[in-house]
Amino acid sequence: MYLLSLEQFKEALKIYPENPILFYYSGLCSARYSKASVDEAVRFEYMAEAEKYYRKAVELDEKYSKAVTALSVLYLYELENPEEAALILNTLIEYERKNYEALFLLANAYIQLGKIDAAIEVYESIEKSADSKTYKEQAARNKKSWRKMFMTGTDFLALLINSLYGPKKKAKADILSFLFENSKTAVSCRDDAVKTAGQLFCLSENIINQAADKAEKTIEDCGKAGIRIVSFLNPEYPPLLREIYSPPAVLFVKGILPDAEKPSVSVVGTREAMRKTLNASYNTAYYLAERKINIISGLAAGIDSKAHMGALDAGGITAAVLGTGTDIIYPASNIYLAQKILESGGALISEYRPGTGARKHHFPERNRIISGLSRGSLIVHAPEKSGSLITAVFALEQGRDVFVHTEGLNVKAEKAVLSCMKTEHPLFQTDRKYLMNGE
């Protein structure tokens, strides 16, 4: 059908060779036939034909909005040419300042070009001028979303520091604290960040630029994976985490960080738990989440998973701190649980870049973030050498409360948990009275 219509339009163009409408419909038929084809060579051939016809229509009439829109969509989503899309859309908008379809496409072009601030300005103009409530609300949502993802110069500086320092957390924390406390050092762009980093570290320009390239690659990877970068210097960075001895320079976040105005409690324990301690983890998290307390855990099998499930079933908010990049779920059996956390308004959080796989040393390191995000940590079931005991140690070092669940004490030979008892930490029980005392 599309080929037959295309042939008819071609015949008409022989009679009316300067008619932009005929060129537009010739392009439309070519584009639709291209999309319908399963043959890659044919698809490419007719996509090129569509571009040619649309381009001719725009050349004949740059105010022909249908042709401009169609060509822009082709450039943005098929031919990966956002520069051309932005060029023709800006020309059209000069004539039609309230063409909101064109304005939304222009914002998308700016986003693909990495000009997030320009895209936000377009969304703001739609908010101010649109008569349609739908357009206003869509623009407001998009603006809010991209503002969260937009990386400022100070965010880039923190990511640059992360690239330079790697595991040297104390030195990194000292520098970040200095920058945070001295707002005059704030930077506005990549070049400023590179200059500031060079002054702070007295490193060669070559080393700084290599780290900057690595940071830019990370930004690109995060954009593709839908991961936000929240730096120590960003107001969204969790205030409790900023207080700890070795805060991450940046957090890689999927979803929404827990509300800092509401209390958070971490619930952790062994992967190889018994039924009664698994139930204790679920029930405690459920009870706390019902009372609007955020539940923080590590998405590991066993106690952690049950804590996340309890919070979700109570309709609460839970966040998982990973020992991998936030685009890699470990264990893989928890992929569905991770998705449920995001769908319920929670978050997946990591200090590791996208694509980082599971490493043995990552999990003890991430435990300081689990406790750092929380006012208190509950150890449900922790045999000797359990990683959750590392969380307890971090919590104590951070000046946070540590609780031990009584069900964990009832497990045979729980010497490690009993050692926590000797430090006189409050006990959690499934009985409501004791829970209230624990809170």
- Nearest partner of 252 among 321, 197, 307, judged by Cα: 321
Alpha-carbon distance 106 to 95, whole Å?
14
User: If you average pLDDT over residues 172-200, what whole number do you get?
Assistant: 63
pLDDT of 436: 33
**pLDDT for residue 305 is more than 70:** yes
**CA nearest neighbour of 101 among 120, 83, 84, 122:** 122
Q: Predicted confidence band at 171 (pLDDT cuts at 50, 70, 90)?
A: low
* Mean pLDDT confidence for 208-217: 84
Residue-wise pLDDT tens digits, 75-117: 888 888 888 999 999 999 988 888 998 999 998 888 888 677 6
In angstroms, rounded to a whole number, what is the distance separating the alpha carbons of residues 22 and 37?
23
Question: Coil, helix or strand for 264?
Answer: strand
Report how far Cα 242 is from the mean position of its chain's Cα atoms: 19
First to last CA, the chain: 70
* Beta bridge pairs of residue 253: 228, 349
Radius of gyration for the alpha carbons in the chain, expressed in angstroms and rounded = 27
Residue 184: per-residue pLDDT: 45
Sheet hosting strand 294-297, strand order edge to edge: 228-231, 250-255, 347-350, 318-321, 294-297, 264-268, 376-379, 401-405, 427-428
- Residue predicted with more confidence, 143 or 411: 143
> Which residues lie closer than 8 Å to 189 by C-beta, 6 or more apart?
153, 156
Average pLDDT over residues 33-51: 86
DSSP lists the bridge partners of residue 228 as 253
Residue 55 has pLDDT above 70, yes or no: yes
If one compares 294 and 34, the residue with the highest pLDDT of the two is 294
Task: Tally the C-alpha atoms within 13 A of residue 255's C-alpha that lie toward its C-beta.
Answer: 23
DSSP-assigned letter for residue 258: P
- How far apart are alpha carbons 109 and 119 in whole angstroms? 8
Residue 62's pLDDT band (cuts 50, 70, 90) = confident
Q: Which of 262, 321, 277 is nearest to 296 (CA)?
A: 321
**Residue 229 CB neighbour total at 10 angstroms:** 23
Global pTM reads 0.61
Examine the pLDDT at 161 and tell me if it is beyond 60: yes
Query: Residue 255 is inside which H or E element, if any?
Result: strand 250-255
CA distance to 10, 148, 382, per residue, from 179 (Å): 65, 21, 39
Strand residue runs (E) in 19-156: none
Check the CA dihedral 204-205-208-211 and report its sign.
Answer: negative
333 exposure class (CB count in 10 Å sphere: 0-12, 13-18, 19+): exposed
The pair of structure tokens assigned to 346 is 């929670």
- In tens, the pLDDT along 393-415 reads 888 888 898 888 877 665 554 55
Q: Looking at per-residue confidence, does 320 or 434 come out higher?
A: 320
Residue 433 has pLDDT above 50, yes or no: no
Bigger pLDDT: 404 or 366? Answer: 366
Quick one: residue 112, left, alpha or beta (phi over 0 = left, psi -120 to 50 = alpha)?
alpha
The predicted structure's pLDDT at residue 341? 94
Which whole number is the average pLDDT over 363-391? 84
On average, the pLDDT of the chain sits at 82
